[in-house]
Structure 1
Amino acid sequence: MAHLARTSIRLTRSVLVALTLALVLLAAPLVSTPVSAQQASTQDVETILAGFTRGQFPATLAAVDALAASGHPHAAPILQALSDRRLVFETASRRVLWQEGGQTFDALTGEPVAAPGPTTDVRVSNAVRRAVQTAMASLTLRAPNPATRIEAAVSILRARDLSQRAALAEARAEETDPNVQRAFDDTLAGLALVDPDAPEAERLAAVERLTARADAGARALLLSVPADATDAVKAAAAEGIAAIDRRLEIQGHVQNLFFGLSLGSVLLLAAIGLAITFGVMGVINMAHGEMVMIGAYATFVVQELMRAFAPGLLDLSLLVALPLAFATAGLVGIALERLVIRHLYGRPLETLLATWGVSLILQQAVRTLFGPTNREVMNPSFMSGSLELFGIALTWSRVWIIVFALAVFLALLVAMKATSFGLRMRAVVQNRRMAASMGIRTPWVDALTFGLGSGIAGVAGVALSQIDNVSPNLGQSYIIDSFLVVVFGGVGSLWGALVAALSLGVANKLVEPLAGAVLAKIVILVAVILFIQKRPRGLFALKGRAVES
């Protein structure tokens, strides 16, 4: 009995504290502006803060709501301190304080307190934290930053706090930013949907708006239609869920298509140089992947130098790295052709083994210079973030890689068709002996062609450094796929490399959701093998020096 009596006394005190705080708010002078927009008097704030010193959760909850509605200029830091267990009160004077950055501040005035007396922590529970989260959202509905206001609306909807509907509606009436207006309207619709007292017409309008929003969050809200909703609301919600599922499925396919195009662009960059060297010279260069790696490390070196000596120009590091990566990888390629490959023409197995050995040497050299660990290459500001298009997030880094791959392809196409070097190279591809008899120095064409293909691989490394880890093993991840692209598209054909790379990239990303990443690669490989059995020359066949006319 004594225990029940004590419990009854505690509950009675809690109720009295809550009623007292409510009466304080009601007694505040009323004007035409909303209560939340007013600033309570010092005496009112003192009474509100006293609720934090009671040591009872109901009193703390009431104080949280009252403080958020008081307009007190220090309400936000006080509530945040409460959530973080940094809100205390002096044991003797009952003065409420908050601690931040090694200092103590008076909750009433916001002034620093040099030497506070003995303090007691304000007790916090999960319910108090939820109340603080909702109160903070209410405080930020009129924050100067639009992003903060949007986040406040999202927080209210996430908590499904119906007590904030009025404050949100008031803020919506004053809002002028279209993006914030949409966020407020979406939150109001979501709250109306879960409000048991909302009329059917309002709930149907909320269902219609959420269906038009057509994202995963809207679908989750439609799934949570209360059991007390009318049959019409439930039927509309079911139709809305089905419509959102259809749209999300379409968006998923479009996003997979985008990922496929970006993967195809990466394969194109890695394979286009190989398409040239393999087509002109018939050389299986297993060190081609290391040319990609050299380009990636050239980007890393340029970025580190600019970070040290010209940090203000760091966003331009890729533009500086492009010609340097091309020149470095191109010179390594020319040296490889002059020192190794030219002695092994007509011996494909020896060439394969020799270039594989060169690839191991280059990998070990990079490990010695830069270490075996991954190196970070920063994305410039114009390649950071994502582009929101029809509800689909397209990362800028991949968008730029698609554009860059097409630009490299077009530049190489122009070089092949509209320059004297391109003419000589095509002549050697068509008929090496005839080209030599016309005065073309075919050995130097071989060397420069190998340098061109290696230089383009280095440029590919610049692009890959933005989406992949820069490590000594970077090139090995793409060498097999590069040969697959070249064989599938047609040896020596630039258009074949373009079509093959994009086709394989898109096919791989479309098969992945059905079969998984590993099995998808196996399926694509088997499909290419079967295709080559029927069409050995690939999609776009050209005559190489092994097929003289």
Structure 2
Amino acid sequence: MPRLLSVLFPLLLASVSAHALDNAQALALVQGEPDARIAALNQAVLSADAPTVTLLKALNEDAVRVSGGQVWIVDGAQAHNAVTGQTAALPAEAEEVMLNNRLRGELDTALAALKLFSPRAEERLAAAQALAKAPSEARLALLDKALAQETEAPLRDAMQLARAAALLSSENAGNRIQAAHDLALAQSPAIELLLNERIAIEPDATVKGALAAALHKVREGLAWGERLGALFTGLSLGSILLLVALGLAITYGLMGVINMAHGELMMIGAYATWLVQLGFRKYLPAAAFDYYLLAALPLAFSAAAGAGALMERLVLRWLYGRPLETLLATWGISLVLMQTVRSLFGAQNVGVENPAWMSGGLPLLSNLSLPFNRLYIILFAALVLAGVALMIQRTRLGLFVRGVTQNRRMAACMGVNTARIDTYAFALGSGIAGLAGCALSQVGNVGPDLGQNYIVDAFLVVVVGGVGQLAGSVYAALGLGLVNKLLEGVVGAVLAKIAVLLFIIVFIQKRPQGIFAMKGRSAES
């Protein structure tokens, strides 16, 4: 690492100073009282050359020894003089350099500060952010030099912020007031913490008032990030509930089947995604792994749809018109499916990784970053909804499904094979549940109990939205997701859940048909 630094930093440090490290300065960095060593460190950073940086890095790695008034850097089996670079055998009497926590913290900050002159913009930004979190008036000269050279506006803003934070430790009250005014413009959790800490130790009442005003303004800005974050979280939860409930809206709305195994159909889709991931990792090149999710989608749909078709043909077709018996039958099937998964894959959760394009997030504010995986799930839910709506409204199968939903007897009289439509519709709803399981594998754990966490919420969405109504499911899913997350920020998760359930109970009492009532002869009879 010392050799790497000696190659990386010479050109950029030449722009800071032409100063050369001498033996007295090297000894001042490694010997003496902490305050004196910190003062020497601050001075060394202001006029650092490549040997100085190499010495500081070696200090941070505990690779420095002192012997006979000389400072040595140990690099494997070799040692070389920190000032002259001369290689020699390490003297037997060489002593280790002691660093306490305070010195280590100052050393880390100093090394970060040197990156203010890095040719890479991201390193300069990281250095400015590190200095803002650990401000010191001793860094002002270094920040001023960096600001004089910086041309990119975002980086200049970050350096100005670090400079204002450093001024908070100034002995001049006017400087501290100016720093408070500058920091009020930065809406960052780190600045909020910094202002809180400074208010606690500020002796001047005028300065304390300026700091309090700045803190209030910072908190107002952060509050917007928290509100937007809550809205996004609610929208994300609503999209997940929509995916989960969409298939249930089709099966429950068409056949009146209370499918308690709907969650396990989601589980099948999630495990199908996991198996595809294993296959990509084992049999395909590493570069292909980022595309495993695209291959998992049709497999998750097919696996869940096939399981749903078997359920309908073997069990449910004999129970139409008896909803309580379908509830008991599908509950038993759900237990069988969960135990089958435990026997095949184990009771523990399995890991499903996000592809590279779903990792990370989109930063909007200092305290708000939108995760890519949830953004893609929102988009995916919208695409699935659009696909189902087009299928219902524009295809022959959709026409038959609507006909059977509105008046089964009349559809049969018109030559529609209602039994076959029941199987197709149930397979479609089950396949959508498999797609929901594929999506859920990207945001949560995949295990035998996956479906149990969502089945109740899915039924609530269907009932509140109106049985068999896609538009109602959209409104109900997004509404319940947003209300639940907004209430969580006020009363907590448990009370928010109770409040939502009470609201649903009252709503169903007042409007038992849901947001949108079913239309047709069957709804009137």
- Map of 1:292 onto structure 2: 266
Shift of 1:228: 5.5
Q: 1:205-240 CA distances to partner (integer Å, 9 max, x unpaired)?
A: 533332222233333344425745573x55444333
Instruction: For 1:375, give the aligned amino acid.
Output: V
Q: 1:165-221 CA distances to partner (integer Å, 9 max, x unpaired)?
A: 0110110110122222111011112223442226x3x55553333222223333334
Q: Select the residue among 308, 311, 314 that pairs with 1:339.
A: 314
Instruction: For 2:242, give the aligned amino acid.
Output: L
- Map of 2:139 onto structure 1: 164
Shift of 1:58: 5.7
Q: 1:31-90 CA distances to partner (integer Å, 9 max, x unpaired)?
A: xx999823444xx4333223456565466445534543453324334323323433223x
Shift of 1:157: 2.7
- Map of 1:281 onto structure 2: 255
Q: Select the residue among 20, 34, 38 that pairs with 2:17.
A: 38
Matched, 1:307 2:281: yes
**Aligned partners of 2:14 and 2:49 also within 8 Å:** no
352 and 382 in structure 1: CA distance in 2 versus 1, 3 angstrom threshold: same
User: In the aligned structure 1, how far is the partner of 2:19 from the partner of 2:169?
Assistant: 32
Matched, 1:48 2:48: no
**Secondary structure in structure 2 of the residue aligned to 1:214:** coil
- In structure 2, the gaps of 5 or more residues are 1-11
- Map of 1:188 onto structure 2: 163
Shift of 1:115: 6.3
Q: Select the residue among 209, 217, 234 that pairs with 2:182.
A: 209
259 and 508 in structure 1: CA distance in 2 versus 1, 3 angstrom threshold: same
- Map of 2:57 onto structure 1: 80
**TM-score if structure 2 supplies the norm length?**
0.90
Q: 1:460-508 CA distances to partner (integer Å, 9 max, x unpaired)?
A: 1111111010111111110111001101111100001100000000010
**Aligned partners of 2:258 and 2:326 also within 8 Å:** yes
- Map of 1:220 onto structure 2: 193
User: In the aligned structure 1, how far is the partner of 2:195 from the partner of 2:45?
Assistant: 30
379 and 110 in structure 1: CA distance in 2 versus 1, 3 angstrom threshold: farther
- Map of 1:526 onto structure 2: 502
**Secondary structure in structure 1 of the residue aligned to 2:370:** strand
- Map of 1:137 onto structure 2: 112
* Of 286-295 and 423-432, the range deviating more from structure 2: 286-295
**Secondary structure in structure 1 of the residue aligned to 2:185:** helix
**Aligned partners of 1:282 and 1:545 also within 8 Å:** no
**Aligned partners of 1:290 and 1:362 also within 8 Å:** yes
Alignment of 1:58-97 (within 5 A): 60-61=37-38, 63-89=40-66, 91=67, 93-97=68-72
**Aligned partners of 2:469 and 2:518 also within 8 Å:** yes
- Map of 1:27 onto structure 2: none
Over the aligned positions, Cα root-mean-square deviation in angstroms equals: 2.6
**Aligned partners of 2:290 and 2:356 also within 8 Å:** yes
User: In the aligned structure 1, how far is the partner of 2:427 from the partner of 2:78?
Assistant: 64
317 and 106 in structure 1: CA distance in 2 versus 1, 3 angstrom threshold: farther
Shift of 1:346: 1.8
* Of 304-313 and 531-540, the range deviating more from structure 2: 304-313
- In structure 1, the gaps of 5 or more residues are 1-32
**Secondary structure in structure 2 of the residue aligned to 1:502:** helix
User: In the aligned structure 2, how far is the partner of 1:112 from the partner of 1:432?
Assistant: 92
User: In the aligned structure 1, how far is the partner of 2:457 from the partner of 2:202?
Assistant: 54
349 and 510 in structure 1: CA distance in 2 versus 1, 3 angstrom threshold: same
**Aligned partners of 1:97 and 1:107 also within 8 Å:** yes
Alignment of 1:416-431 (within 5 A): 416-431=392-407
Alignment of 1:92-491 (within 5 A): 93-99=68-74, 106-108=81-83, 117-197=92-172, 200=174, 203=176, 205-223=178-196, 224=198, 227=202, 229=204, 231=206, 234-308=208-282, 309-391=284-366, 392-491=368-467
User: In the aligned structure 1, how far is the partner of 2:184 from the partner of 2:213?
Assistant: 9
Q: 1:257-316 CA distances to partner (integer Å, 9 max, x unpaired)?
A: 111010010100001000000000000011100111111111111111112223212111
- Map of 1:10 onto structure 2: none
- Map of 1:497 onto structure 2: 473
**Aligned partners of 1:374 and 1:470 also within 8 Å:** yes
483 and 95 in structure 1: CA distance in 2 versus 1, 3 angstrom threshold: same
- Map of 1:513 onto structure 2: 489
Instruction: For 2:433, give the aligned amino acid.
Output: A
**TM-score if structure 1 supplies the norm length?**
0.86
Q: 1:134-187 CA distances to partner (integer Å, 9 max, x unpaired)?
A: 321332221223232222223323232101101101101101222221110111
**Secondary structure in structure 1 of the residue aligned to 2:388:** helix
User: In the aligned structure 1, how far is the partner of 2:210 from the partner of 2:28?
Assistant: 45
333 and 114 in structure 1: CA distance in 2 versus 1, 3 angstrom threshold: farther
User: In the aligned structure 2, how far is the partner of 1:544 from the partner of 1:117?
Assistant: 96
- Map of 1:16 onto structure 2: none
- How many matched pairs? 510
**Aligned partners of 2:136 and 2:169 also within 8 Å:** no
334 and 112 in structure 1: CA distance in 2 versus 1, 3 angstrom threshold: farther
Instruction: For 1:158, give the aligned amino acid.
Output: K
429 and 102 in structure 1: CA distance in 2 versus 1, 3 angstrom threshold: farther
User: In the aligned structure 2, how far is the partner of 1:68 from the partner of 1:152?
Assistant: 13
**Aligned partners of 1:431 and 1:548 also within 8 Å:** no
Percent identical among aligned pairs is 44
* Of 155-164 and 288-297, the range deviating more from structure 2: 155-164
Instruction: For 1:461, give the aligned amino acid.
Output: G
419 and 34 in structure 1: CA distance in 2 versus 1, 3 angstrom threshold: closer
**Secondary structure in structure 2 of the residue aligned to 1:388:** strand
**Aligned partners of 1:289 and 1:479 also within 8 Å:** yes
**Secondary structure in structure 1 of the residue aligned to 2:95:** strand
**Aligned partners of 1:165 and 1:188 also within 8 Å:** yes
**Secondary structure in structure 2 of the residue aligned to 1:394:** strand
**Aligned partners of 2:133 and 2:194 also within 8 Å:** no
Instruction: For 1:249, give the aligned amino acid.
Output: A
